[in-house]
Amino acid sequence: MANGDDLRPTAAGASIERASPVVPPPSREIPTANIPPARFTAPNRVNLTEDNQSLLNSIRSSAALTPQERNTLFNLMTSSEENGAAQFREVVSRSDLRRMALSLTSDLDRFLEMARNKNGSNRIQELLGRTDDLDTYFFNAILSRFDHIMTDYEASRVAMQGMRVFSEEKKTEMCSYVRHHAIPLACDRSGYAVLKEIINVWSSLGHFFYRDQLLDIVARNALYLGYDCYDAHGNYVVQHVLRLNDLRCTHNVAVSLRGSCFGLSFTKFGSFVVQKLLDTEEEAVMVVRELVRCDEERLVRLARSDYGNYVLVKALRVMQESNRIDLFWDLANKLRPYVHLLRGRNVGAFLYWLR
C-alpha cells in the first residue's frame, strides 16, 4: 500500500484500515525570561497629601511643629472629608506616637476644641489604650480641662473611653475627679447626661466600687437635686439612680428625703422621685406614713395640686396592693370627707369608688 498503512484481517476475511494515532501538536512554551520573579506585596498605603506628609516628616524627625503644621494636625484630626479617616490612620501607622500625642496635647485649648468635634473625639479615642506612656499625655490633658470636657457630649466620650482603657491608677484618679465634680455635673444641662452615662459605664464594666461611691454622693444630695434644680437636670440623675433598683442606694435616697416627700410632691419632677420611692416596699411605707402625719388641710391641698394628686393615688394603690390595709385606710379616711372638693382629680375618682 502506497501510504504504508497497516491492514489487518477481520473475522470475515476482509481487512480494514487502522487509523493512524493522533499526535498532539508540539507544546508552545511561553518564554519565562521576561517574567519577573514573585515577590512580597506590601499592604496598600494611602497617598498622603503634601501637608500631611510634611507633618509626618516633622513628627518623625522630632522637630518642633510650625504653626502651619499645627493647623495641619488639627485638620487631620477633625477632617470630615471622604478620606480623612484614612489619612489619619496612615499618619498614625507611620508616626512616632509619643511625639504625636505630645503635639496633640501641648495646647490644651486646641485639644479641647478637637475633642468637642465628632471626628476629633473619635480619632483621639483611637489613640487611647495603646501604651501607658502614651495615655499619660491624654490623661493629663483630660484632667486639666475636666469641667469643660465633661459638660460636652463629644468631649466626654474621650474621657469615658479613658475610663475604660487607662491603667487602674489613672482610672482611680479620674473617678476621684468625677466624685469631686458630681453635683455640678448633675445640675449642668449637658453634664447630667454625662454623669448618668458614667454610672452606666461603671456598671457595665463591673466597677461597682467606683459606681457605689458615686451613687452615695447622689443619694446624700437627693433633696437638693430632687427639686427642680437648674431645669430639673439634677432631678433626672436622682430618678436615674432609683431606676437602677439598687436597694442600698434607694434606701439612702429615702433617708435623705425623709420629711420632705410632702413638699417634693407639689413639683413636677419632685413628684416623679416620690413615686419612684413608692415602688419599693420599705420606702413606700416611709412615704405614706409621712403623708398620714399631715393634717387634713395640707393633705387636701396636695390632693388638689397638679402633681400631688398623682402621688396620693399611687400611694393608696401601693398600700392596697401590698396589703398594708392599716396605712391604706389611714390615708383614705383623711381624704374621704373632702371628696367633693376633689372632683376632676384622679384621687377624687379613686376615693369615690370607696364609698
Full 3-state SS string of the chain: CCCCCCEEECCCCCEEECCCCCCCCCCCCCCCCCCCCCCCCCCCCCCCCHHHHHHHHHHHCCCCCCHHHHHHHHHHHHCCCCCHHHHHHHHHHHCCHHHHHHHHHCCHHHHHHHHHCHHHHHHHHHHCCCCHHHHHHHHHHHHHCHHHHHCCHHHHHHHHHHHHHCCHHHHHHHHHHHHHCHHHHHHCCCHHHHHHHHHHHHHHCCCHHHHHHHHHHHHHCHHHHHCCCCCCHHHHHHHHHHHCCCHHHHHHHHHHHCCCHHHHCCCHHHHHHHHHHCCCHHHHHHHHHHHHCCCHHHHHHHHCCCCHHHHHHHHHHHHHHCCCHHHHHHHHHHHHHHHHHHCCCHHHHHHHCCC
Encode pLDDT of 93-142 as tens digits: 999 999 999 999 999 999 999 999 999 999 999 999 999 999 999 999 99
Is residue 278 very low, low, confident or very high in pLDDT (cuts 50, 70, 90)?
Answer: very high
Encode pLDDT of 168-178 as tens digits: 999 999 999 99
By mean pLDDT, which of 34-38, 125-129, 301-305, 321-325 is the weakest? 34-38
Note whether residue 55 is domain-resident: yes
Q: Is the pLDDT of residue 217 over 50?
A: yes
What does the alpha-carbon distance between residue 226 and residue 68 come to, in Å, rounded to a whole number? Answer: 50
Is residue 62 very low, low, confident or very high in pLDDT (cuts 50, 70, 90)?
Answer: confident
Q: Please compute the mean of the pLDDT values over residues 323-341 and round it to a whole number.
A: 92
Q: Is the pLDDT of residue 35 over 60?
A: no
Encode pLDDT of 177-194 as tens digits: 999 999 999 999 999 999
pLDDT of residue 13: 45
Note whether residue 31 is domain-resident: no
DSSP bridge pairs for 17: 7
pLDDT of residue 349: 85
Is residue 26 very low, low, confident or very high in pLDDT (cuts 50, 70, 90)?
Answer: low
Domain of 131? 50-166
Note whether residue 109 is domain-resident: yes
Q: Please compute the mean of the pLDDT values over residues 215-239 and round it to a whole number.
A: 88
pLDDT of residue 33: 40
* Dihedrals phi, psi of 15, to nearest 5 degrees: -130, 150
* Residue 166 half-sphere exposure toward CB, CA atoms < 13 A: 22
- Do 226 and 273 contact (CB within 8 A), yes or no? yes
Q: Is the pLDDT of residue 79 over 60?
A: yes
Q: Per the structure, how many domains does the chain have? A: 1
Is residue 227 very low, low, confident or very high in pLDDT (cuts 50, 70, 90)?
Answer: confident
The whole-angstrom distance between residue 4's C-alpha and the CA centroid of its chain comes to: 93
Note whether residue 162 is domain-resident: yes
pLDDT of residue 345: 84
pLDDT of residue 43: 55
Query: What torsion, rounded to 10 degrees, do the Cα atoms 228, 233, 239, 241 define?
Result: -130
Q: Is the pLDDT of residue 9 over 80?
A: no
pLDDT of residue 228: 61
Q: Is the pLDDT of residue 351 over 90?
A: no
Note whether residue 349 is domain-resident: no
What does the alpha-carbon distance between residue 268 and residue 18 come to, in Å, rounded to a whole number? Answer: 109
Note whether residue 261 is domain-resident: no
Is residue 11 very low, low, confident or very high in pLDDT (cuts 50, 70, 90)?
Answer: very low
Note whether residue 33 is domain-resident: no
Note whether residue 103 is domain-resident: yes
